[in-house]
Structure 1
C-alpha cells in the first residue's frame, strides 16, 4: 500500500517569476521563503512521486473541450508553456504507471476523469515548482481541475474527488507519494478588477481549512467565491487536497494579500492523517 507522505497547498501566479521584484522586498522575501520551505519539506519526505493538483489556463484545453478533471499519464511533461515566465524550459519526468492506476481507480469509484498523454505544464504548476526549488526532482502526476469556465465541478464535488483520490493512492501497491495543490487565492484575471483582492475571503477560507472537517471550507467557498475574483475559483484545487487529507486540519504557513502580484498568496500543509 502506498503512503501519502505529505499534502501541501500554495498559491500560484505567473508574476511571481515574471515580476519577482514588484512587491516591497520584505513582503516578497517573506513569501518566497515559504515557497522554499514547502520545497524543502517535500524534498525531506523523499517521495517516489509528486501529485500536482492545478488547473489549465486554456493552454491544453479550450472552451470547446474542457474536462472537469484530467489526469496526466505521460512519461514526461514539457514546460513551461509561457515563454515569458523566466523559468527554464525543461522536461519533467512523469509516473505513467501511477497515473494510469489513479485513472482506473477513480473510474471504479464513480468518477469519469479525462486523461492525457501529452500535457504541457503552464505557470499553474511550474511557478510553484520553480519557487520551491523542486522542478524536475521527482516524477509527477499532474491532475487538472476545471476552474476556468462553467460548468465547473462544485466545491463539495472537488472534496469528494479528493477523497476518492486518497483511496486510489493508498491502493497503489508500493511507494511514497506527496501532494501539492496550487491555485488562488483571491484574484481577478483580465478584468478591470485586476490587483483588487478580497483578503476577508482568503482568511476565512484558510480558517475553515484550519478548523478541519470535510466540508466546511467547501461550503464557505461555494457561498462566497464570487466575491473574490474569477481566479479564486482555483480554490477547488485546494479542496481536492482537502479531500485527500480526509478533512484533517490545515496549518497555514503564510498569507499576504500582495496586490503587486495581483493575488492573495497563501501556503500551508495538512496534518498527516493516520
Structure 2
C-alpha cells in the first residue's frame, strides 16, 4: 500500500515569487524574512522524500464559474497546464506544466465515490495559483507528479466545515489503500482571515488577528473538536469575506488526523497572516524524534 509521508497546510500568497525576487531596494521590508521562512518550510517536505503530491486548492473563478460549479473536483490528466494570464500579469507567476499521475487519480476518484463523495472530474483541468504557489514555495523543481483536487470555497452554498474534515479523512483512507509502494505527500492551501475587495483589505494585519492566532493554535494541537465547535460559515464571514479558505486547512487536518502538528510557523504580512504547518504520520514522527 502507499505511504502518506507528510501533510502540509499553508496559505498561498500569489505575490511571494515577485516579492522575493525583485531587486532588494524594491522589496517590501518583510521579504527577506518571508523567503527565510518559506525555505525552512520547504525542508519539511524535502525531508519526507515523496514520490507523488496530492494537492488541494480552490479555483479562483479561472476555469470553474457559476454556470457549472462543483463542490469537489479531481483532475485526471497526464499533464496540467498552469497559470492564467491575469496571474502572469498581476503576480509575475510564470507558466508551468505539471505532470499528472492518472493511475492514482483514477483510483482516488473511485475510492472517494465509494466513500460517499460524489466528485466531479476533469480530464482537461488547468491549474491556478492555489496549487502553483505551493509548487513555487515547497517544490520549486516541479519534479513530482500530482493529483490535483479542487474544493469550492467561494460560491455559496458551501459544504460544512465537518464535510471538509470528513473529506480529508476520506482522502487519507484513499491514499493509505492505494495499491502502490509510492510515498505520498498531501499539500493543501487556503487562507486564514482575509478580505478581498472589501473595506478591510490591505490593513496593517489580517482583518481578524484573534481568529488567526486561535486558528493556528487549533491546528498546532490538532483540535478538530474546537474547530468544528467554533468555526461556521457565519463566523468565517465575520472574520473576512475570503476567510472561507480556512476550510482547506480543516480538510488538511482531516488528512493528517487529529494529531499535533510537527512544524508550525507564521508571518504577519500586513494585510494577511501567512501560516505554514506540517504533520508527519505518528510512526514517522516518533522515528524522527528517536
Q: CA deviation at 1:151?
A: 0.8
- 2:59 — aligned with what? 56
Partner Cα separation in structure 1 for residue 257 and residue 47 of structure 2: 23
The correspondence of residues 204-215 of structure 1 with structure 2, limited to 5 A, is 204-215=214-225
Relative to 1, partners in 2 of residues 1:16 and 1:218: Cα closer, same or farther, differing over 3 Å? farther
Report whether the alignment pairs 1:136 with 2:145. Answer: no
Partner-residue secondary structure (3-state), 1:45: coil
Q: CA deviation at 1:24?
A: 4.4
CA RMSD, 1 decimal: 1.9
Partner Cα separation in structure 1 for residue 3 and residue 82 of structure 2: 28
Report whether the alignment pairs 1:201 with 2:211. Answer: yes
Asked if the contact 1:208–1:220 (Cα under 8 Å) also holds between the matched residues in 2, the reply is: no
- 1:95 — aligned with what? 101
Q: CA deviation at 1:40?
A: 2.7
Q: CA deviation at 1:152?
A: 0.8
Q: CA deviation at 1:88?
A: 2.4
Relative to 1, partners in 2 of residues 1:86 and 1:135: Cα closer, same or farther, differing over 3 Å? farther
TM-score where L is the length of structure 2: 0.87
Report whether the alignment pairs 1:187 with 2:194. Answer: yes
Asked if the contact 1:126–1:135 (Cα under 8 Å) also holds between the matched residues in 2, the reply is: no
Report whether the alignment pairs 1:245 with 2:245. Answer: no
Asked if the contact 1:51–1:141 (Cα under 8 Å) also holds between the matched residues in 2, the reply is: yes
1:268 to 277, 281, 286: 277
Partner-residue secondary structure (3-state), 1:215: helix
Count of residues in Structure 1 that have an aligned counterpart in Structure 2: 271
Partner Cα separation in structure 2 for residue 49 and residue 233 of structure 1: 27
- 2:286 — aligned with what? none
Q: CA deviation at 1:251?
A: 4.2
Partner Cα separation in structure 2 for residue 203 and residue 252 of structure 1: 16
2:241 to 227, 230, 252: 230
Of structures 1 and 2, the larger Rg is shown by 2
Q: CA deviation at 1:29?
A: 2.3
Relative to 1, partners in 2 of residues 1:133 and 1:243: Cα closer, same or farther, differing over 3 Å? closer
Partner Cα separation in structure 2 for residue 214 and residue 176 of structure 1: 26
TM-score where L is the length of structure 1: 0.92
Asked if the contact 2:19–2:28 (Cα under 8 Å) also holds between the matched residues in 1, the reply is: no
Deviations 1:208-228 (A, max 9, x none): 122224432233322631222
Unaligned runs of 5+ in 1: none
Report whether the alignment pairs 1:220 with 2:213. Answer: no
Q: CA deviation at 1:131?
A: 2.5
